[in-house]
Amino acid sequence: MHVFENILNQNRPIRLLTTLFNNKTIPHALLFTGVKGVGKKRCSIAFAMLCNCTDLRFLSGIDDEPRINPCGHCSSCKKIKSGNHPDIIIIEPSGTYIRIDQIRNLCRLLALKPHEAHLRVVIISDAQALTTEAGNALLKELEEPPSGTLFILTAPQKSDLLPTVLSRSQVIGFNPFSLNDLVSILKSGHGANHNDALIMAAMAGGSLSTATTMWKSKNRIDFIRQRKWLINFVNTCIMSEPSPDMLFASALRLAKNKEFFLDSLKVIKSWLRDLVIYKYSPEKIFNKDMTDEIKEISENIAEEPLLCGIKAVDNAQKKILANSALRLTAEIMIIKLARV
């Protein structure tokens, strides 16, 4: 089993990790950044396997350059792969947050010596969900890391973490998937037709897991209808003068639940981005199935208000992740979009 080769589109992060391993320069803490669904957690587990494998393999990598890989078959690799290794600890949000009790329990574990691992690995998935108290408790471990322990944190972006935690971590960025790559994967691996693959890829925001989840969902048609509604709504906001009733009704629809709101913001941001990008590099737009409409709108609206719209969407995303009130967040964003 070629463990790293099963992680798509992440040649640079994998090369950096294997270089750290080969040079014996693994830091005490790594931070993997990138959008959801690009392989950050899978790569964390693969690196834990590499650091503890008893039968390392050298396989052809980029440009036929030999790349070291965990074997995937030794006792250590099997335990890590199945989630049963006592020294590979995975911390994930409990509900919305990673709470102080979870980090306190981790600290108690780290006070003990590893059971069998050459390098104990603590994977903190979605580290942006750490509460302030949990982040400060983790910081104490990062400041005086236990011997033979590696922390791997994952988050969408560096700015999501406390500066003090960030300063003690080596950052490795993970690439979003290109539109063409997502379309190709959906067509060849999942049997999607070209038009549906284009739509799903455009809605996925560079995330492979999002694209495949939407394609496999029984609500696939609903996703496509939702995208159409969102794009029509944004166009109304930026190209005409929508009524207050229409704006607040739209805010209510967006704010029905957190996951739906966040997914909708990806679509809105993708559309506004395309309207900007078309002015300079039309071939780089995401929503290629709507090229004619993007061309017409982009040529009739200035860049600055579109950038203000993107900023409003970014602010809404941050507020939602900080657990702000959904309806109020939606109303503020929509009012800003309507002023574009």
Q: Which top CATH class is 218-338?
A: mainly alpha
Which residues, 6+ apart, have CB-to-CB distance to 209 below 8 Å?
36, 37
We find that the CATH architecture of domain 4-173 is 3-Layer(aba) Sandwich (3.40)
Fold identical between 4-173 and 218-338?
no
Write down the domain spans for the chain: 4-173, 218-338
Each residue of 180-196: pLDDT tens digit? 999 999 999 888 889 88
Residues with pLDDT less than 50, the chain: 62-63
Two structure tokens written together for 296:
């017409």
The whole model's pTM is what?
0.81
What does DSSP say about strands 149-155 and 120-124: parallel, antiparallel, or unpaired?
parallel
SS (H, E, C) 78-128: HHHHHCCCCCEEEECCECCEECHHHHHHHHHHHCCCCCCCCCEEEEECCHH
Task: Convert the pLDDT of each residue in 277-336 to its tens digit.
Answer: 999 999 989 898 899 999 999 999 999 999 999 999 999 998 998 888 999 999 999 999
What Å distances lie between residue 197 and 134, 184, 261, CA to CA? 41, 8, 22
Dihedral sign of CA atoms 250, 255, 259, 265 in order = positive
Q: What are phi and psi of 131, to 5 degrees?
A: -70, 165
Q: Which two tokens stand for residue 152?
A: 């791997």
Q: What is the pLDDT of residue 64?
A: 52
Q: Is residue 155 within a helix (H) or strand (E), and if so which, with residue range?
A: strand 149-155
For residue 66, the cross-strand partners are 60
275 alpha-carbon distance from chain centroid: 23
